[in-house]
Chains A and B, each alone.
Chain A
Amino acid sequence: MDKAKINEIVINTLKNYCEENDILAEINKDTPLIGSARIMDSMGLVNNIVDIETAFLDEDVEISLTSEAAMSGRISPFRSVGALCNFIARQLGIEEE
């Protein structure tokens, strides 16, 4: 697992969700997942958190996006797609971009 693979899994999962739910949004590193410009509602984010965790598990890689650090951190890892990818990379001990 490297950073490119992390980005691929996260972006593909989000794209699939948007397609299935008729959400017209460009998914890139700057796309916000929370806040006023977010592309999905809170339940959508919950579903994506589950989908991303299980997508990694399907690759035999265990991550947790519901940890205290993820949910209560001063700077949320869900502020953008890139921040989320970096958060996962840090969990896996991979150098961020």
Chain B
Amino acid sequence: MGRIIIITGTRKGIGRYLAEQYLQEGDIVYGCSRRICDIEHPNYHHTRLDVSDEAEVVSFVRNVYKNHKHIDVLINNAGCASMNHFLLTPYDTAKKVFNTNFFGTFLMCREVAKYMVKNKSGRIVNYSTVAVALNLHGELVYSASKAAIEQLTRVLADEIGESGITVNAVGPTPIDTDLIKNVPDNKLQDLLSHQCIKRFGQFEDVKNVIDFFLKPESNFITAQTIYLGGVV
């Protein structure tokens, strides 16, 4: 029987790719996004929600639990970015980025972890970014929200590790998605120059790390953030 997997932000990009791949591998996927999603598969269930809306997240996760009495995997893929010099960053923009990236991850983790603790098993994968390690100019708010997710990953892993749950994070390099569509080309080239392997990431690279975290043999791997491309 397939795993019960929750993936946030499945309407497009990496989230959509992951949903389609795991469906193809026989898993049951519960996806969500703010807008409508056109993935059509008998084992795909979509909910329109804002990951930073507590009531919507609670209701969404409870519904998955009610249907299956367990949740195997949570992939906190939903995210947004804002590139701007710190001095020119509107407060509302900073709050919006933190709401989606950090508080969305916080809420999803809290609600899903409840049921994972009850079942004494589960895997949670969060998203960081190489921008945390590289301290990039113009990405203060975005990278700070992701640094907060890394800290959440480590402490949550410690708090629920005894219940057989692992919590890890993947830190992608730039990938050709909407997230970087407004980043100037020279900035992207500069970013690539910091990587050991100087190329854009692919969706497959991200899934490869997630699959590693989800492998049954990875039950001793927790509280880790793996950056792609050789960023340290």
Neighbouring A residues of B117 by C-beta, 8 Å: 46-47, 50
Q: In whole Å, how far is A26's beta carbon from the nearest beta carbon of chain B?
A: 25
Q: B137 contacts the other chain (Cβ, under 8 Å)?
A: no
Neighbouring A residues of B62 by C-beta, 8 Å: 57, 62
How far, in whole Å, are A50 and B114 apart by their CA atoms in the complex?
Answer: 6
Per-position binary interface string of chain A over residues 25-55, scored 1 when its CB falls under 8 Å from any chain B CB and 0 otherwise: 0000000000000000001001100110110
Neighbouring A residues of B58 by C-beta, 8 Å: 64
Q: Quick one: which of B66, B110, B162 contacts A57, CB cutoff 8 A?
A: B66
Chain B facing A: main interface SS = helix
Contact residue range for chain A?
A: 10 to 19
The closest CB in chain B to the CB of A60 belongs to B66
Neighbouring B residues of A57 by C-beta, 8 Å: 62, 65-66
Q: In whole Å, how far is B179's beta carbon from the nearest beta carbon of chain A?
A: 32
How far, in whole Å, are A43 and B158 apart by their CA atoms in the complex?
Answer: 12
The closest CB in chain A to the CB of B65 belongs to A57
The closest CB in chain A to the CB of B119 belongs to A54
Per-position binary interface string of chain A over residues 45-83, scored 1 when its CB falls under 8 Å from any chain B CB and 0 otherwise: 011001101100100101010100000000000000000
Neighbouring A residues of B114 by C-beta, 8 Å: 50, 53-54
Asked if A50 and B118 make an inter-chain contact with CB atoms under 8 angstroms apart, the answer reads yes
Asked if B118 and A51 make an inter-chain contact with CB atoms under 8 angstroms apart, the answer reads yes
Q: B200 contacts the other chain (Cβ, under 8 Å)?
A: no
Neighbouring A residues of B66 by C-beta, 8 Å: 57, 60
Per-position binary interface string of chain B over residues 107-119, scored 1 when its CB falls under 8 Å from any chain A CB and 0 otherwise: 0001000110110
Name the residue among A54, A57, A62, A64 with the largest chain B CB count within 10 angstroms.
A54
How far, in whole Å, are A68 and B117 apart by their CA atoms in the complex?
Answer: 21
How far, in whole Å, are A57 and B65 apart by their CA atoms in the complex?
Answer: 9
6 new A-B contacts at CB < 8 Å, known A46-B117, A47-B117, A62-B62 = A50-B114, A53-B114, A54-B115, A57-B62, A57-B65, A60-B66
Which A residues are within 8 Å of any B CB, using their own CB?
43, 46-47, 50-51, 53-54, 57, 60, 62, 64, 66
* 20 contacts across the A-B interface (CB closer than 8 A): A43-B162, A46-B117, A47-B117, A50-B114, A50-B115, A50-B117, A50-B118, A51-B118, A53-B114, A54-B65, A54-B114, A54-B115, A54-B118, A57-B62, A57-B65, A57-B66, A60-B66, A62-B62, A64-B58, A66-B110
